[in-house]
Amino acid sequence: MVCAPLAGWRPVTVTGRRTRQDFAELLQDLVDDYFPNKKIVFVMDHLNTHKLSVLYDRYEPAEAARIARQIEVH
């Protein structure tokens, strides 16, 4: 689950498992569909899949870098 509390936004995505690929696809959806052209600040737990490096496992390097540039992790 991701949320933007000040905007009252809390979409939920359910997948069969919590995989690295699932997380990478969620990040791409956030960057491309929900917050295009905006910096996304993440505050997240320490689940082993919650790393920007998952983008490079799922996408070509140029695409992974494009997505990662819009995300700031705290």
User: What pLDDT score does 12 carry?
Assistant: 82
pLDDT at 68: 96
H helices, E strands: number in the chain: 3, 2
pTM of the model: 0.85
Q: Is the dihedral of CA 51, 52, 57, 58 positive or negative?
A: positive
pLDDT digits 0-9 by tens, 16-65: 888 899 989 999 999 999 999 999 998 887 777 788 999 999 999 999 99
